[in-house]
Structure 1
Amino acid sequence: MIRSSAASGSFTEPPKKSLGQNFLHERGVVDKIVLAIDPKPGDRLVEIGPGQGAMTFPLLDRHGSLTAIEFDRDLLTPLTAQAAAHGALTLVHANVLDVDLTALADGTPIRLVGNLPYNLSSPILFHALAHAASIVDMHFMLQKEVVERMAAGPGSKVYGRLSVMLQAYCDVTALFVVGPGAFRPPPKVDSAVVRLVPRAPERIGIIDPKRFADIVRAAFGQRRKTLRNALGGTMDAEAITAAGIDPQQRAEQLSVADFVRLANHTATP
């Protein structure tokens, strides 16, 4: 049941620490995000965690319609009330991790946007990845450190499982950094906006997604070890060599294409 304080249609509830809420309020940052998204007629926009509407209302002004997934019941009434002056807002009251994004798309690929709660950013990214075939692109605000990991290349200290899994299925581009002062309350870390564009199936080339995920997980699970040792229970040294990879290398030395080659070498179509 919506609390009476929200029923008036105004945002009177303070940000909830338990939900990882840091509401974006700086209009200059919002304008940069909307410009980066650049919605076109016919686009299906879906926002994850609209909060108090900092991105929602400008996107509605620009595009006219938007679907938003919001978990906090106290925000539903004020979002609905204030959105009426901007455009057509469809609210889905749910945890995004429970939302079937493919079913939501219903045959028309969606464009995902959102200022993601930092404590759930990785689960949300992997959830979106599972529905990548129904997604045109994604523009997310995340902790800067996470964006750096997402976009990192081989040899980087922050290159890891997240980097490989996302880059295997998407083109990842870090766009710009956002300081703590753009939020209420200000987080203790810098944030950044990132764009992810799912790749066409022919550009992915992974025969068995589960096999690929298992190899990447095992390789980075013991990243200080050589592939010979880290993949001991998954691939032996002979199979690694046969895939064209030196078993004495470590996970952070391999490109995404190298991991695809490793997985495909022993995959069952």
Structure 2
Amino acid sequence: MPKERPVKKSRIHQEVQKQGIVFNKDFGQHILKNPLVITSMLEKSGLRSTDVVLEIGPGTGNMTIKILEKAKKVVACEIDPRLAAELQKRVQGTPYQSKLTIQMGDALKSELPFFDLCIANVPYQISSPLVFKLLLHRPFFRCAVLMFQREFAQRLVAQPGDKLYCRLSINTQLLARVDMLMKVGKNNFKPPPKVESSVVRIEPKNPPPPINYTEWDGLTRIAFLRKNKTLAAAFKQTSVMEMLDKNYKLHCSLHNKEVEADFNIQEKVIGILEKLECGQKRARTMDTDDFMNILYGFNAEGIHFS
């Protein structure tokens, strides 16, 4: 029985091509064809028979069918009507038809439904916004097992001091536990992409850390703009000082506090950084706890980042 599956998959691909469906590179359409990779992704997700699974970019449905065999329900988000029709046709008249809902449109612009797991071979150009859309989604889901371009996956799991450690790393790790699961070579796809891929597991922290995420994002944006610079140097940029000055004055007016006549935002900011003993630290070596301390320290003095 297992030997027949690859034949069926290649037949599906031939049918797709017969109908004149050319995979659209603008949508990042690289169809995962290796059943072993699909099986491994499903195993590592901890999929249960009671789960509702969200799949982004199901393509011709190779992974969708495997999920439908095990899950209670699959919601597949597909932007390409041709592939959605192909997937619909693939389940027609099978027991899976009633378990599959196809949500047409751009996953980034659509309201995502309730789901327990997200399992997907993600179109690479939407990787970053999709990760944050998922992590800010409520109610919480259990975990996501996602295929990304390898360097993007490495950034997600990078630690302070690593070459690839960046804003993406710290913003993701604030909200979730991220683990690298496996590497996937380009020959596992049709057509093969130009880059290698990796699969990661993302498990949201529930409850999330008690901070204002918009402010956190504002702070890390300043710090990582030049991640090798000291924080003192990053904060001294004119545009940063102007923004913080405006925010501080707004904070004072909202709380009926008078701004001192000789108030100087730069002195205030550098004073706070010195008090927190982090003016000479560099973003590339700092972890989430370091940034939380800085955010609390600034907020306590009435300085905000949103």
Work out the CA distance in 2 between the residues paired with 1:95 and 1:39.
Answer: 25
Question: What TM-score does the superposition give when structure 2 sets the normalisation length?
Answer: 0.78
CA contact (8 A) 1:133 1:198 kept: no
Number of residue pairs the alignment of both structures matches: 252
Over 3 Å counting, the alpha-carbon distance change for 1:241 and 1:133 in structure 2 is farther
Alignment of 1:11 with 2:16, yes or no, is yes
Taking only the aligned residue pairs, the percentage that are identical comes to 30
Over 3 Å counting, the alpha-carbon distance change for 1:46 and 1:33 in structure 2 is same
TM-aligned CA deviation for residue 149 of structure 1: 0.3
Work out the CA distance in 2 between the residues paired with 1:210 and 1:31.
Answer: 38
Work out the CA distance in 2 between the residues paired with 1:245 and 1:196.
Answer: 33
Q: What do the CA deviations read for 1:104-146 (whole angstroms, capped 9, x no partner)? A: 11xxx53112111111211211222221543221111000100
SS of 1:139's equivalent in the other structure is strand
TM-aligned CA deviation for residue 95 of structure 1: 0.2
Amino acid at match of 1:266: F
SS of 1:135's equivalent in the other structure is coil
Question: What TM-score does the superposition give when structure 1 sets the normalisation length?
Answer: 0.88
Q: Which range is displaced more, 110-119 or 168-177?
A: 110-119
CA contact (8 A) 2:52 2:116 kept: yes
Partner in structure 2 of residue 219 of structure 1: 223
CA contact (8 A) 1:71 1:94 kept: yes
Name which of 133, 153, 156 aligns with 1:150: 156
How large is the RMSD of aligned CA atoms in angstroms? Answer: 1.8
Partner in structure 2 of residue 266 of structure 1: 298
Alignment of 1:115-264 (within 5 A): 115-131=121-137, 133-201=139-207, 204-206=209-211, 208-232=212-236, 233=240, 234=244, 236-242=269-275, 244-264=276-296
Q: Which range is displaced more, 21-30 or 223-232?
A: 223-232
TM-aligned CA deviation for residue 254 of structure 1: 0.4
Work out the CA distance in 2 between the residues paired with 1:227 and 1:255.
Answer: 14
Work out the CA distance in 1 between the residues paired with 2:285 and 2:270.
Answer: 16
TM-aligned CA deviation for residue 263 of structure 1: 1.4
Partner in structure 1 of residue 37 of structure 2: 29
Work out the CA distance in 2 between the residues paired with 1:37 and 1:134.
Answer: 15
Work out the CA distance in 1 between the residues paired with 2:226 and 2:145.
Answer: 31
Work out the CA distance in 2 between the residues paired with 1:142 and 1:260.
Answer: 28
Amino acid at match of 1:69: C
SS of 1:177's equivalent in the other structure is strand
CA contact (8 A) 2:145 2:201 kept: yes
Work out the CA distance in 2 between the residues paired with 1:169 and 1:147.
Answer: 16
CA contact (8 A) 1:70 1:93 kept: yes
CA contact (8 A) 2:50 2:71 kept: no
SS of 1:196's equivalent in the other structure is strand
Greater Cα radius of gyration, structure 1 or 2: 2
Q: What do the CA deviations read for 1:29-60 (whole angstroms, capped 9, x no partner)? A: 11111111121132121101101112101011
